[in-house]
């Protein structure tokens, strides 16, 4: 018996190069009822998105990472799928301002550090 799509848990692709923060974010999202794909860098995130993109409800990505940046990842994801829902995360307001200047309301933003309540609010917004 297959599960109707509306009854499955949201699938979130979390991209974070800080191992501990990736682990904490994954646990928090799972506690809120999400399934999580974790990627420690943007290259891995693109691989996972190419494989699971049709099931991914949204991508939650850090902006400042070694190698390919979160900015480059966002551009690549939007090229692959202009409808992909993305949340950009940074501790630097200037970086979030740059996201807003480049993509406007197309990409949601969240300031680090964030807590479980903020993630829960984000999930409500993303599922609306």
Which residues, including other chains, have CB under 8 Å from residue 15's CB and lie 6 or more apart? Answer: 39, 41, 42, 44, 45, 59, 60, 61, 62, 65, 70, 73
Q: What is the pLDDT of residue 3?
A: 42
Distance CA 76, CA 26 (A): 23
We report the CATH number of the domain holding residue 16 as 3.40.50.2300
Cis peptide before 107 (omega within 30 of 0): no
Instruction: Count Cα atoms within 13 angstroms, Cβ side, for 87.
Output: 23
Instruction: For residue 45, tell me if it sits in a domain.
Output: yes
- 126 falls in which pLDDT band (50, 70, 90)? confident
Instruction: For residue 2, tell me if it sits in a domain.
Output: no
For the chain, give the mean pLDDT.
92
pLDDT beyond 90 at 5: no
CA distances from 42 to 28, 38, 127 (A): 21, 11, 24
Q: What are the b/e assignments for 35-51, b being 16+ CB within 10 Å? A: ebbbbbbbbbbbebbee
Residues 15 and 45 sit within 8 Å (Cβ to Cβ)? yes
Instruction: For residue 1, tell me if it sits in a domain.
Output: no
Predicted confidence (pLDDT) per residue in 62-87, tens digit? 999 999 999 999 999 999 999 999 99
Q: What is the pLDDT of residue 4?
A: 44
Domain that residue 31 falls in: 9-122
Count of the separate structural domains present in the chain: 1
């Amino acid at each position: 018996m297959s599960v109707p799509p509306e009854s499955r848990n949201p699938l979130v692709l979390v991209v974070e190069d800080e191992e501990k923060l990736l682990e904490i974010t994954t646990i928090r999202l799972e506690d809120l009822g999400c399934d999580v794909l974790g990627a420690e860098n943007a290259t891995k995130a693109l691989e996972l998105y190419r494989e699971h993109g049709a099931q991914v409800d949204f991508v939650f990505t850090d902006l400042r990472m070694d190698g390919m940046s979160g900015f480059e990842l966002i551009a690549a994801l939007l090229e692959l799928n202009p409808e992909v829902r993305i949340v950009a995360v940074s501790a630097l307001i200037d970086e979030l301002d740059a996201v807003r200047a480049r993509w406007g309301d197309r990409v949601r933003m969240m300031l680090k550090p964030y807590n479980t309540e903020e993630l829960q609010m984000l999930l409500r917004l993303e599922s609306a």
